Structures are given as structure tokens and as C-alpha cells.
Structure 1
Amino acid sequence: MTRRHDPHRPLWLCRACGGPWPCGPARLTLLTEYGADGRVALCIHLAGLLYTAVEDLYRLAPQDAPKPAALHERFLGWAAPRRPRSEGGGPA
């Protein structure tokens, strides 16, 4: 039986692989669960988890908690809906 890549709170490490959650396999699972049309819903879900993770991590060790920008990238940066590029390669 394959172990699920779920978060271990309050450390926010993956229960299966021990990496920072959401790890690569957890991200793939989330993308599959929410589907191509569910990116906005996925980001809303992840934003709620980010808020909880910030509370947990700063309560555990405020001096050693990850920087806000790193947590944002870890939880939301990878999942944000991407805008298609214009044909010229510049901003859309």
C-alpha cells in the first residue's frame, strides 16, 4: 500500500517522504484532485493551509520559522493559474 503524502502538523512535513509539505507527490495529487478547471479553488484551499502553517510554524519556533516569501512560494507559488503568453513572447 502506498502512503499518502499528507502534512504532519504542526511541523508541516510530509508524512510519507519527510520533505516540506506540499512535497512533489502531494502537489501532483492536489493538481489531479482539483483538475485543470480547479486551479482557483486549489489556490483558495492552499491559502487556508498556508495561514494554518504560518500559525503552527511561528508558534513552534518563531526565530527559525521559514520566511514569509518562502512559505508563499511553497504553498501557493507553484499552484497559481498561469496566464497564456502572447505570441510575441512578452506580457499578455
Structure 2
Amino acid sequence: MSPHLPMRPAWLCRNCAAPWPCGRARLDLATEFYGHSIALAFYLAASMQEAMDDVYRLGLRPDLPALHARFLGWLSLARRPHR
């Protein structure tokens, strides 16, 4: 099975072509960062910044609320305490 990684500069999933992070990528990230929700938030915030930079480089204006929802809005669902 191919990993669900971003394809830049479009930020679509290389595997399923959904906007990244797609549902499977979110599940994989939540598993990978289990117990380390702050590290996951930093990773996703950095990815969101890279996506915004790519949109600007393409000469477009990013939809900031949509990007925030896509990259960070789901984090509260993935939070787990570190043990």
C-alpha cells in the first residue's frame, strides 16, 4: 500500500488525490504522533505554512480559513494524553 503523502505544490494526496491531509493521512499521522499532540500540531502548522507559500508562488491567494480547517481543525479529535 502506498503512503498518503502530499504532492506539492497542489497539496493533494499522492495516493488518493484528496486534499492533503486526507482522511487516511490524518489517521496515519494521529497514529505516528500518538501521545505527542504538540509535535503533531507543529508539524501540521509547518505544513500549512508551506502550502500557503506554494499557493502564493503559484500567483494565487490562499483561503486561510479553509487551510486552517484542513490542516489544524481536526487536531482536537486526534489528541491523546502522553503516558
Instruction: Report the TM range for the smaller structure's normalisation.
Output: 0.7 to 0.9
Matched, 1:46 2:44: yes
Matched, 1:75 2:74: no
Q: TM-score, normalised by structure 1?
A: 0.78
How much does 1:79 deviate?
A: 1.2
AA at the equivalent of 2:23:
G
Gaps of 5+ in 1: 84-92
Structure 1 residues 46 and 82 mapped into 2: Cα distance closer, same or farther (>3 Å)? closer
Checking the alignment, whether the CA contact within 8 Å between 2:37 and 2:78 is kept in structure 1 is no
* Cα RMSD after superposing both structures: 1.8
Which structure has the greater CA radius of gyration?
Answer: 1
Matched, 1:14 2:10: no
Q: TM-score, normalised by structure 2?
A: 0.86
Checking the alignment, whether the CA contact within 8 Å between 1:5 and 1:17 is kept in structure 2 is yes
Structure 1 residues 4 and 34 mapped into 2: Cα distance closer, same or farther (>3 Å)? same
AA at the equivalent of 2:47:
L
How much does 1:59 deviate?
A: 1.6
Gaps of 5+ in 2: none
Count of aligned pairs = 79
